[in-house]
Structures are given as structure tokens and as C-alpha cells.
Amino acid sequence: MSWTDKLNDTKAQVKSLNQALPETCAGFGALGKAVKKDGALSYKEKEYVALGIAVAIRCEPCILFHVEALVKLGATREEVADVLSACIQMGGGPGLMYASKALDVYDELAD
């Protein structure tokens, strides 16, 4: 299964959850909307942080969503790779493995 297929499957799962828990998901959505506003950090910079956390906690669906956001925000492969270098430094071997997944997601979604 491609990363794009996994992303689409995850979006369908989240949509189903939104239908089952509309108030809870609306609250979470409001939090996400607030974070997307530029503050001391730009939304793009916040997405770099979120990607780093996603790799560190080994959340594959989170990697998919945050890489997709970074692609849409114009992040370059080099910028994403630079973020992933910090993930590797902080996460050791497991960080290396999930960083390689995140870069593979970027390559597929950026095409």
C-alpha cells in the first residue's frame, strides 16, 4: 500500500470518528485551527515541530498528516530532511527508522 493510500485510509477513519464524536472532534479541530495561526512561530515552523514529535513518538498517521501539511506549505525536501536529522539525534536508532519513513512519505506526496 502506498503512503497516499494510507493517508486516504487514515482520513476516512478520522471522518468516521468525526461523525461518531462530533463535539469531541470539533474541540480538537478548534485547537488545530488555533495552532495554525502565525504567532512567534509561523504555521510552517509549527508543522516542523509537529513532524519531529510525530517521528519521536512513532505515530505513522501523524507523520502522514504533518508531511502533507508541509508539502502544501511549500517545505522543501532539504528542510524536511534537516528536521529529521534532529529527530535522529534525539531518537537514536528508532528515530532513524521513522525518519526514513517520513522522508519516503515526503517523496511520494511531493510528486
Condensed to tens digits (0 to 9), the pLDDT of residues 52-67 reads 999 999 999 999 999 9
Query: What spatial distance separates the first Cα and last Cα of the chain, rounded to whole Å?
Result: 17
Class assignment of domain 3-110?
mainly alpha
User: Residue 69 has what pLDDT?
Assistant: 97
- Which pLDDT score, from 0 to 100, does residue 91 have? 84
The answer to whether 36 touches 43, Cβ cutoff 8 Å, is yes
* One-letter amino acid of 19: Q
pLDDT digits (tens, 9 = 90+) for 64-77: 999 999 999 999 99
Residues of the chain with pLDDT under 50: none
Domain boundaries, the chain: 3-110
Identify the pLDDT of residue 54.
Answer: 96
pLDDT of residue 106: 97
Helix (H) or strand (E) holding 107: helix 77-110
Q: Give the pTM.
A: 0.86
User: What's the 3-state SS for 41-70?
Assistant: CCHHHHHHHHHHHHHHCCCHHHHHHHHHHH
In 3D, which of 66, 73, 67 has the Cα closest to residue 44? 73
Given this model, what pLDDT does residue 17 score?
A: 96
